[in-house]
Chains A and B, each alone.
Chain A
Amino acid sequence: MLNQIAAIIAMNVKSLPRRANMSVAAVAAIAAVVAVLLGFLAMANGLQQTISGSGSDDFAIILRANSSSELNSTLTKDQQDLIALAPGFARGPGGRPLVSRESYVIVDGIKKSSDTKANIPLRGMSPEGVALRSGVRVTEGRMFEAGLNELVVGAGVLREFAGFEMGKEIRFGRSVWRVVGVFEAPGSVFESELWADIKVVQGQFNRGASVQTMRAKLAVPGDISTPAAYIENEPRLNADIKTERTYFAGQSQGTQQLVTLGWALGIAMALGSLSGALNTMYASVQARTRDIATLRTLGFGGFATFVGTVVESLVLAAIGGLIGGVVAFLFLDGITASTLSGSFTQVVFAFDLSPQLLADSVVLALVIGAVGGIFPAWRASRLPLTAAFGR
Chain B
Amino acid sequence: MTDFSLVLRNLTRKPLRLGLTLFAIFMAFLILTVLIAFQLGFDRAVEATSEERLVTISKINFTVNLPIGHVSKIRATEHVEQVAYADWFGGYFKEPSEPLVMFAVSPEAYLELYDELIMDDDARAAFLQNKQAMVMGEGLMREYGFKVGDRVPMRSNIFQHRDGGNTWELDLVGTFRADDPAVDTRYIIFHHDNFNESRTFGRDTVGWVIIKADNPANNDAVMAAIDAQFANSPNETSTSTEKAFQRAFVAQIGNIGLIIMSVVGAALFVILMIVGNAMMMAIRERTGEIAVFKALGFRSGRIFAMVLGESLMLSLIGGLAGLAVGAVLVGVAASAIPPLAFMVVSTEVMVVTLAVMLALGVVTGFFPARTAMNTTIITAFQKH
Contacts and interface: CB of A to CB of B under 8 A. Distances in A.
B72 interface: no
Contacts of A205: 60, 64
Contacts of A210: 201
Interface stretch (B105-113, B137-145, B231-239, B286-294): B231-239
B274 A116 contact: no
Interface stretch (B46-54, B185-193, B218-226, B265-273): B265-273
B295 interface: no
A145 B280 CA distance: 72
B201 A173 contact: no
A24 interface: yes
Contacts of A265: 31, 263
A275 B274 contact: yes
A344 B16 CA distance: 52
A250 B281 CA distance: 54
B234 A29 contact: no
B157 A66 contact: yes
B24 A275 contact: yes
Nearest to B61: A106
A68 B97 contact: yes
A288 to B, nearest CB: 14
Contact of B166 (A66, A71, A107, A337): A66
A26 to B, nearest CB: 8
Give the interface size class of chain B: 35 or more
A174 B277 contact: no
A338 interface: yes
B252 interface: yes
Contacts of A196: none
Interface string A4-36: 000000000000000001101110110011011
A72 B158 contact: yes
Interface string A107-122: 1100101101111000
Contact of B274 (A29, A106, A268): A29
A210 B270 CA distance: 57
Interface string A329-356: 0000000011110001010000000000
B331 interface: no
A280 interface: yes
B243 interface: no
B28 A272 contact: yes
A173 B254 contact: no
A67 interface: yes
Contact of A25 (B234, B236, B248, B274): B274
A164 to B, nearest CB: 15
B365 interface: no
A269 B59 contact: no
A252 B306 CA distance: 55
Contact of A108 (B60, B234, B266, B280): B60
A206 interface: yes
A67 B157 contact: yes
B269 A32 contact: yes
A276 interface: yes
Contacts of A105: 60-61, 64
B55 to A, nearest CB: 13
Contacts of B155: 66
A188 B270 CA distance: 37
Interface string B3-25: 00000000000001100110110
A284 to B, nearest CB: 11
A117 B281 contact: no
A278 B99 CA distance: 47
Nearest to B30: A268
A385 to B, nearest CB: 23
B252 A272 contact: no
A143 B58 CA distance: 28
Interface string B32-73: 000000000000000000000000001111011000000000
B274 A272 contact: yes
A271 B325 CA distance: 16
A269 to B, nearest CB: 6
B208 to A, nearest CB: 14
Nearest to A71: B63
B157 A174 contact: no
A174 B269 contact: no
A33 B158 contact: no
A205 B60 CA distance: 9
A173 B278 contact: no
B381 to A, nearest CB: 16
B276 interface: yes
B296 interface: no
Contacts of B255: 113-114
B252 A174 contact: no
Nearest to B24: A275
Contacts of A26: 273-274, 277
Contact of A339 (B28, B201, B232, B254): B254
B276 A25 contact: yes
B27 interface: yes
Given A275-B24, A276-B274, A279-B278, A106 B254 contact: no
B271 A272 contact: yes
B20 A275 contact: yes
24 contacts: A26-B273, A32-B266, A33-B266, A36-B263, A66-B96, A66-B157, A68-B157, A72-B158, A106-B61, A106-B64, A108-B60, A113-B255, A119-B63, A172-B60, A173-B58, A205-B60, A269-B28, A276-B274, A278-B20, A279-B20, A283-B281, A337-B254, A340-B252, A346-B252
Interface of A: 21-22, 24-26, 28-29, 32-33, 35-36, 39, 66-68, 71-72, 74, 105-108, 111, 113-114, 116-119, 172-174, 205-206, 210, 265, 268-269, 271-273, 275-276, 278-280, 282-283, 337-340, 344, 346
Given A36-B263, A272-B23, 5 more contacts: A33-B270, A173-B58, A206-B234, A269-B27, A339-B253
Closest 7 CB pairs of A and B: A25-B277, A272-B27, A276-B274, A275-B24, A275-B20, A25-B273, A173-B60
